[in-house]
Amino acid sequence: MTNYLIKGARPLGGDPVDILLQDGRVAAVGDSLEATGAEVVQAAGLVALPGLVDLHTHLREPGREDAETVETGSRAAALGGFTAVHAMANTDPVADTAGVVEQVWRLGQEAGLVDVVPVGAVTVGLAGERLAELGAMADSAARVRVFSDDGHCVSDPALMRRALEYVKAFDGVVAQHAEEPRLTVGAQMHEGDRSARLGLTGWPAAAEEAIIARDVLLAEHVGARLHVCHVSTAGSVEILRWAKSRGVQVTAEVTPHHLLLTDACAESYDPVFKVNPPLRTDADVEALRAGLADGTIDAVGTDHAPHAVEDKESEWAQARPGMLGLEQALSVVIETMVEPGRLDWAGVADRMSVRPAQIGRLADHGRLIAPGEPANLVLVDPAARAAVDPAALASRSRNSPYAGRELPGRVVATFLRGEATVLDGKATR
């Protein structure tokens, strides 16, 4: 195994230091380090962060390997600076048994580019009727701790209550896709002035907020952990702030696209901007940025949702919802949060690594860059700016909402347990 001597990187944007990675761990952090036989990485001007952790990635394997595989998605993740991703359960077959989560986990190990952490379905087949075998998935080799029917809401309150009670036994968490389905029948975009003008059926903010309000009350009553996926409205941020002030064990994530884009994108009728929950208003975007800045929203979760061309490049109403996110997530956070001064580098590390790792109970991730810690880290050039070229992405799909957009920040290197998965901005395998 290669050892690496990183010269002159700035951990969390602080003073430049050398960092020695040896045998999978950070061996030393200090000035003028030397190490015979180690490969030297010149890192002057680069910021070092703990490896990023995504709570919400769709890898599409098994079932839609034409859109993404565990390997291609893992490569996209490493190039985005991630060292661990949670693989969502809405595959085909659904990840609702120990067998399927173990298969996804093993594929992740074989790809070896990031730790692929399977999410287990809450209900059998994501059908919202019967609980899946949550305990068997938790006990499996994949050690599942996060359970989600993402793509669908666990809308039955009694079933949601039972899921919360069940996962408490092994310190698991239910990650809810908050969408009251009776309020979003046929919905195509955010419900507001624009949907009325464009003649597209609206997805009201209240459909998200009603479920979050219900679920924080259930989580409080049961004393279990609740995580809210892809929070998208100002009202949701208010409810979360209230719940946290009461001591409810609730955490939440926001996607990069909800931090940057608004429902104005729908005016183009370009289905690349169709996503669930939909892009919202300027006021919602502002509330999401404020919520991420003050910690009401704990984490950035990409909701990386690759789709094959035939599922995405059609008329708006027929197109599947979802957009790519892994490779541009950090750049979008730099653009929307760091450059405007709303989050410093320690804040980025907290929201994109430390807290998501804690929520997923990943002991080896989200650790500081300090001697003895697992060598999971990323080197970022914050000064670089480039236009996004979808053809150059590692994902098997091309549905990036950032095509042609210039964004700051370039991932120069990513290390997973001391092995370089990305060097000089290129995947090593």
Q: Which residues bind ligand DOR (CB under 6 A)?
A: 58, 90, 150-151, 177, 275-276, 305, 320-322
Q: Taking CB within 5 to 8 Å according to partner kind, which of ligand DOR, Zn ion, none is near residue 322?
A: ligand DOR
Is residue 404 within 8 Å of residue 396, measured between CB atoms? no
Q: Is the dihedral of CA 420, 421, 427, 429 positive or negative?
A: positive
Q: Taking CB within 5 to 8 Å according to partner kind, which of Zn ion, ligand DOR, none is near residue 176?
A: none
* Nearest residue to Zn ion, by Cβ distance, number only: 177
Binding residues vs Zn ion (CB under 5 A): 150, 177
Cα–Cα dist 119/145, whole Å: 7
Cα–Cα dist 146/159, whole Å: 16
For the CB of residue 274, give the shortest distance to ligand DOR in the complex, in Å: 8
Q: Taking CB within 5 to 8 Å according to partner kind, which of ligand DOR, Zn ion, none is near residue 321?
A: ligand DOR
Beta partners for residue 51, in sequence order:
none
For the CB of residue 290, give the shortest distance to Zn ion in the complex, in Å: 22
- Residue-wise burial string across 236-267, b where 16 or more C-beta atoms lie within 10 A, e elsewhere: bbbbbeebbeeebbbbbbbbbbbbbbbbebbe
Which of the residues are catalytic? 303
For the CB of residue 198, give the shortest distance to ligand DOR in the complex, in Å: 19
3-state secondary structure of 279: coil
For the CB of residue 1, give the shortest distance to ligand DOR in the complex, in Å: 36
E-strand spans in 333-405?
A: 377-387
Residue nearer to ligand DOR on the CB measure, 276 or 296: 276
* Nearest residue to ligand DOR, by Cβ distance, number only: 322
Residue nearer to Zn ion on the CB measure, 151 or 172: 151
Residue nearer to ligand DOR on the CB measure, 26 or 119: 119
End-to-end CA distance of the chain, in Å? Answer: 15
- Residue-wise burial string across 86-118, b where 16 or more C-beta atoms lie within 10 A, e elsewhere: bbbbbbeebbbbbebbbbbbebbeebbbbbbbb
Q: Which two tokens stand for residue 14?
A: 């602080």
Residue nearer to ligand DOR on the CB measure, 29 or 266: 266
Helix/strand/coil percent split, the chain, to 5: 35, 25, 45
Residue nearer to ligand DOR on the CB measure, 177 or 289: 177
Residue nearer to Zn ion on the CB measure, 164 or 231: 231
Q: Taking CB within 5 to 8 Å according to partner kind, which of Zn ion, ligand DOR, none is near residue 90?
A: ligand DOR
Is residue 322 within 8 Å of residue 307, measured between CB atoms? yes
For the CB of residue 318, give the shortest distance to ligand DOR in the complex, in Å: 14
For the CB of residue 150, give the shortest distance to ligand DOR in the complex, in Å: 5
- CB burial of residue 62 (10 Å; 0-12, 13-18, 19+): middle
Residue nearer to ligand DOR on the CB measure, 304 or 367: 304
Rounded to 10 degrees, what is the CA torsion of 158, 161, 166, 170? 160
Rounded to 10 degrees, what is the CA torsion of 257, 388, 195, 176? -30
For the CB of residue 60, give the shortest distance to ligand DOR in the complex, in Å: 8
Alpha carbon 371 to chain centroid, angstroms:
27
Does residue 306 have a cis peptide bond before it, meaning omega lies within 30 degrees of 0? no
Q: Taking CB within 5 to 8 Å according to partner kind, which of Zn ion, ligand DOR, none is near residue 343?
A: none
Neighbours of 57 (CB within 10 A): 29
Q: Taking CB within 5 to 8 Å according to partner kind, which of Zn ion, ligand DOR, none is near residue 55?
A: none
